Amino acid sequence: MSTEDVNPYELLGLSIEATEQEIKTAYRQRSLKVHPDRNRGNPDAARKFHELHQAQELLLDPLRRMALDAKLRIKEARKARYATYDAKRKGLVEELEERERALKKARLETENEKKQRLRENERIMEEGRQLREQRERELQRKERERDALQQKVQQEANAGVEPPPSGPLDTTVRVKYALASRPTLVDAASISAVLTPFGAIDESSVVLSLKPAPPKKPKRGTALVPFTQIGGAFAAVCASERAEHGLQDIEVSWAGGAEPELIGWLKKMGQLGGTANGKPPPPSADHKSPAPTAAAPASDDAFSSFPSTFPDLDGAPRRPSAPTAVAGLDYESLTLMRMRQAERERLEREIREQEAAEGD
C-alpha cells in the first residue's frame, strides 16, 4: 500500500501518536462495518476491507510505521513552510501570471493584425483586377467606336460624298471693336496677340482700319485677320464677344460675309457642332468654358468640335487681296479628321456628364 495514495491514519481515523491497542480497536470497529459478508450488495466492500487490513499491518510494523511517520512529518513541515510565504511571494506569482496573460493577448493581437493585413492586400489586389478589367473594356469599346467610324467614313467615301473646295477667304475673319473698350488694339501685332490662341496667324497680312482716320481720334477699329488654317478661323468666330476667351467687346465674323461651304459641309456630315451662322450654342449650366491659354486655346470649348488636325489647305498664309486656288481635302486627311472629331466629342460628353453629376 502507498502512503502517497491513502493515509493509513486517516483511513483508520487515528492520529500519528496512536498506540497498538488503539490501532487494533479502530481496525476491528471499521472492518466490521465494511466486511463483505455484511455488505453483499456493495461491490466496494471487499476493496475497503482490504485497505483497512493493509493499513493495520503497516501501522503494526514498527519499521514501516517509522518510515511512514517520517514522510508524514516532512509533508506537514513543507505544508507549514508554504503557508508562511509572505504576500510579496504571492504578488510575484500573480505578476508572473499577469505577464503570461499579457504575452498571450499580444500574440493574439499580432496574429489578428497579420490576418487584417492579408485581407487588405487581397482587397487591394481584387480592386486592381477590377480596374484592369474596366480599362480593358474601355479600350475595347474605343476600338469598336473607331472601327465603326472608319466603316462609316468608308461607306461615305464609297457613296461619293466629297467635301466642297475651299474659298479664298475661308481662313480670314473680320474683327470689329470699339477703341473705348479695347484701346490697346491699334496695330496688327496687338490684334494678332489676341487671336493667336485660336491658331497661327499671318501677321504680315493683317489689314487694320481705324475710323475716323488719324490725326482725328479714332473711335472704332476694323481688321481682316488671315489664319493659316481654317480651324483657327472657325474657333475665333465661335468665340466672338465671349469674355472667357479674351474677346470681350470684340466681334469676330467671317471675312466673306457668310460661313464657308467647307464648314457647312462638315456640319451636314455631323462632324461639327454649332449653328448655321457659325455661332456656338449658348453654354449650358453644367458646362463652363475655361479661359484661353497658350496650352489650351479658346477653340477647345463649345467650338472644340472642330478637328485640331484640320489640314492647311494651301500650306501658305492667305491674303485677302490675293485669292489663290485651293485643293480639296484628301481621303486620308478626312478620315483622320473624323476620327479625332469623334474622340473629342466623346471626351466632351464625358466631362459634361461628370460635371452634371458633381453638381447634383
Residue 67, pLDDT score: 92
Answer whether residue 134 is part of any domain: no
Residue 359, pLDDT score: 64
Q: Could you tell me if 185 and 292 lie in one domain?
A: yes
Indicate the residue among 62, 83, 104 that finishes a domain.
83
Indicate the residue among 83, 103, 124 that finishes a domain.
83
The H helix count followed by the E strand count for the chain is 9, 4
CB atoms within 10 A of CB 235: 29
Query: Could you tell me the CA-to-CA distances from 141 to 136, 146, 254, 255, 346 in Å, in that order?
Result: 9, 9, 39, 42, 12
Q: Could you tell me if 204 and 74 lie in one domain?
A: no
The answer to which of 50-64, 307-321, 325-339 has the lowest mean pLDDT is 307-321
Indicate the residue among 17, 52, 83 that finishes a domain.
83
Is the pTM for the entire model greater than 0.85? Answer: no
Question: Residues 1, 51: contact at Cβ < 8 Å?
Answer: yes
First-to-last C-alpha distance (Å) of the chain: 93
pLDDT of 72 strictly over 60: yes
Answer whether residue 121 is part of any domain: no
Q: Could you tell me if 64 and 195 lie in one domain?
A: no
Q: Could you tell me if 195 and 320 lie in one domain?
A: yes
Q: Which residues pair with 250 in a beta bridge?
A: 177
Answer whether residue 97 is part of any domain: no
Q: Could you tell me if 317 and 177 lie in one domain?
A: yes
The answer to which of 93-102, 216-225, 251-260, 289-298 has the lowest mean pLDDT is 289-298
Q: Is 227 helix (H, G, I), strand (E, B) or coil?
A: strand
Q: Which residues pair with 221 in a beta bridge?
A: 177, 210
Answer whether residue 301 is part of any domain: yes
Q: Is 224 helix (H, G, I), strand (E, B) or coil?
A: strand
Answer whether residue 38 is part of any domain: yes
- Average confidence score pLDDT of the chain: 77
Answer whether residue 140 is part of any domain: no
Structural domain that includes position 309: 172-329
- We report the CATH number of the domain holding residue 294 as 3.30.70.330
Q: Is 217 helix (H, G, I), strand (E, B) or coil?
A: coil
Q: Tell me the backbone φ, ψ of residue 213, rounded to 5 degrees.
A: -70, 145
User: Hunting for cell 480596374 — which residue is that?
Assistant: 131
Sign of CA dihedral 31, 36, 42, 45: positive
Q: Could you tell me if 61 and 186 lie in one domain?
A: no
Question: Residues 148, 198: contact at Cβ < 8 Å?
Answer: no
Taking each helix axis as running N to C, give the angle between helix 230-238 and helix 261-268, from 0 to 180 degrees, rounded to the nearest 10: 80
How is residue 89 annotated by DSSP? H
Answer whether residue 100 is part of any domain: no
Q: Could you tell me if 195 and 323 lie in one domain?
A: yes
Q: Could you tell me if 223 and 325 lie in one domain?
A: yes
Answer whether residue 162 is part of any domain: no
Q: Could you tell me if 191 and 325 lie in one domain?
A: yes
Q: Could you tell me if 316 and 198 lie in one domain?
A: yes
Where does the pLDDT of residue 261 fall: very low under 50, low under 70, confident under 90, or very high at 90 and above? confident
User: Which helix or strand (DSSP H or E) is residue 2 part of?
Assistant: none
CA pair distance 234, 259, nearest whole angstrom? 9
Q: Give the count of domains, the chain.
A: 2
- We report the CATH number of the domain holding residue 14 as 1.10.287.110
pLDDT tens digit sequence for 88-141: 677 788 888 899 999 999 999 999 999 999 999 999 999 999 999 999 999 999
